[in-house]
């Protein structure tokens, strides 16, 4: 087995991979807008030669363009939210919100690997004080490993849950052969631990309620 990568490398790779994936999706939205604009131009040219315009078709094309603009806008909001996750080293935030963002950021990667990501709503709000960027890195890295093992057409469920002394991110169902996610530096940085329940096929990443408590670094 290869050496675990350093936390700096892992963080940079996460930032790069997510930026590349989102930029690819943005390119697709732009390409669709480009083709629709081109088709409208073609239709206008044909109208100039006497071919009548179909108002219903024009309405449909305009609607498609608006949907792609909304899609691109949503992607940019997610990209912006992710970019700002490095603004503060530590923050108190809702873990389910972090999972929602992670699913938005990683959904295309999941589809490319033949899987889908599903958020399981938590019964109660799960607020923790932690490092927002490193939580995203942890989820990204975990998803990469879990999706590689998940195979095609598999749904991977993500859930935030309160524990007696903190919170957990739960991934399920995980491959029954899984032993660990190999990210010791990120786990250490977040003061997190991982636990695998073979029976339920759940991987728990357990985070402290407040990372600043008894923080040594």
Partner 1 sequence: MRVLLVDDEEQLVSTLAERLELRGIHAGWATGGEEALERVKSETFDLAVLDVKMPKISGIELKKRLQVLCPAMKFIFLTGHGSEEDFTAGAAEAGSDFYLIKPVKIEALLEKMNEVMRHPGKSI
Positions in the binding site for partner 1 (CB under 8 A): 20, 23-25, 27-28, 30-36, 38-39, 42, 46, 64, 68, 111-114, 152
Q: How far is the CB of 67 from partner 1 (least distance, A)?
A: 8
Nearer of residues 31 and 195 to partner 1, judged by Cβ: 31
Q: How far is the CB of 4 from partner 1 (least distance, A)?
A: 24
Nearer of residues 68 and 172 to partner 1, judged by Cβ: 68
Nearer of residues 73 and 165 to partner 1, judged by Cβ: 73
Q: How far is the CB of 115 from partner 1 (least distance, A)?
A: 9
Q: How far is the CB of 127 from partner 1 (least distance, A)?
A: 35
Q: How far is the CB of 147 from partner 1 (least distance, A)?
A: 12
For 97-134, b/e burial (b = at least 16 CB within 10 A) is ebbbbbbbbbbbbbeebebbbeeeebeeebbbbbbbbb
Give the 3-state secondary structure of the chain. CCCCCCHHHHHHHHHHHHHHHHHHHHHHHHHHHHHHHHHHHHHHHHHHCCCCCCHHHHHHHHHHHHHHHHHHHHHHHHHHHHHHHHCCCCEEEEHHHHHHHHHHHHHHHHHHCCEEEEEECCCCCCEEEECHHHHHHHHHHHHHHHHHHHCCCEEEEEEEEEECCEEEEEEECCCCCCCCCCCHHHHHHCCCEEEEECCCCEEEEEEECECCCCCCC
Q: How far is the CB of 171 from partner 1 (least distance, A)?
A: 21
């Amino acid at each position: 087995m290869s050496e675990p990568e350093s936390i700096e490398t892992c963080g940079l790779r996460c930032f790069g991979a997510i930026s590349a994936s989102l930029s690819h999706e943005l390119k697709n939205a732009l390409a669709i807008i480009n083709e629709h604009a081109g088709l409208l131009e073609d239709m206008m040219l044909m109208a100039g030669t006497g071919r009548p315009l179909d108002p219903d078709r024009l309405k449909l094309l305009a609607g498609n363009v608006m949907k792609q603009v909304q899609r691109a806008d949503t992607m940019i909001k997610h990209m912006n939210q992710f970019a700002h996750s490095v603004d503060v080293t530590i923050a108190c935030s809702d873990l389910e919100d972090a999972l929602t963002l992670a699913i938005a950021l990683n959904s295309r990667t999941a589809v490319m690997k033949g899987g889908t990501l599903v958020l399981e709503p938590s019964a109660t709000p799960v607020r923790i004080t932690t490092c927002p960027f490193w939580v995203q890195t942890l989820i990204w890295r975990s998803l990469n490993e879990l999706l590689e093992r998940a195979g095609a057409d598999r749904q991977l469920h993500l859930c935030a849950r309160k524990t007696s002394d903190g919170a957990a991110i739960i991934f399920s169902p995980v491959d029954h052969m899984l032993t660990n996610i190999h990210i010791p530096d990120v786990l250490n940085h977040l003061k997190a631990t991982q636990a695998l329940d073979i029976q339920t096929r759940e991987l728990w990443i357990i985070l402290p309620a407040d990372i600043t408590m008894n923080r040594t670094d």
